[in-house]
Amino acid sequence: MRTNHAIFPSVYDRYTIFCPIEELEQKFSVKNQGSFRESYNAAPAQKLPVITNKKPGQIQYFHWGITDAMANNKSISPRLFNLTSDNALQRPAYKKILQAERCLILVNGFYVWKQLSKKQRVPYFCYYKYQLPFAIAGVWEEFDDLQDKVNSTFNMLVVPSTGPLQDYQEDMPAILSSEQAVSWMDENADLSRLKEILGNISPGSLKMHAVSPRLTDLKNNDEGLVKPAPPADQFGNYTLFS
């Protein structure tokens, strides 16, 4: 697992998944098929829980974007772990994956960064009431590495920001309502249906508050990361902006 990250985290490269596994099993009507570990600082290259359209009754564990071995302690380009809806719907290679290999990314919330100046950004935690779990749309794929080992990875779908998130970043995760999640996992969903889902993503009653910039370091992975904190930039400098 990578222990460090770029000083400026990329667009949507951090989220949380910390509720009891039993809560995930009950909400999504699935059974866990791996070793679950809560995370307040989930990041690319880590192995994280997803539900795929090929095994909709199971929680599996795939690497986000690329494997840790491929990451090799280097900064990871957002294009390796985030997939824009435009690319997914327009580029032939991505369209093929979108139609065949979709998944639900299980989260309790995600982090965004508010740009204050060219060099200053403040982290915020985004979540729903009671920090209940929800799903973000994703795609997945399998490949064999040089040692003939099968690896499974997933990418997060992102769409143009709407609502309060417009003030933070241009794109936002493709947050799925319960009904949209069912349609996203439907094996018979065609491209027009998937386009409709991605075109109607809404943050709804999303809540958010400033949190500690400690999340820039992956060695920090504790409940304190989601607690409200005075707005501070990635260098730890406090700011009057909220």
pLDDT per residue of the chain (242 residues) written in tens, 0 to 9 = 233 333 334 456 899 999 999 999 999 999 999 999 999 999 999 999 999 999 999 999 999 997 766 656 555 555 677 999 999 999 998 999 999 999 999 999 999 998 877 777 889 999 999 999 999 999 999 887 667 788 899 999 999 999 989 988 899 999 999 999 999 999 999 999 999 999 999 999 999 999 999 998 999 999 999 999 887 656 666 665 55
What is the structure's pLDDT at 230? 81
CATH number of the domain encompassing residue 162: 3.90.1680.10
The answer as to whether 4 is a domain residue is no
The answer as to whether 241 is a domain residue is no
The answer as to whether 51 is a domain residue is yes
The beta strands (E) that lie in the chain are given as: 15-17, 31-32, 39-42, 47-52, 58-64, 82-84, 102-107, 109-115, 121-127, 134-144, 150-160, 171-173, 175-176, 207-210
Euclidean distance between CA atoms 195 and 82, whole angstroms? 17
Number of structural domains found in the chain: 1
The answer as to whether 26 is a domain residue is yes
What is the structure's pLDDT at 118? 74
- pTM summary value: 0.89
User: 23-44 in b/e burial notation, b at 16+ Cβ within 10 A?
Assistant: ebeebbebeeeeebeebbbbbb
The answer as to whether 147 is a domain residue is yes
Euclidean distance between CA atoms 121 and 112, whole angstroms? 10
The answer as to whether 97 is a domain residue is yes
Bridge partners (DSSP) listed for residue 135 = 106, 176
The answer as to whether 10 is a domain residue is no
The domain of 217 spans 15-226
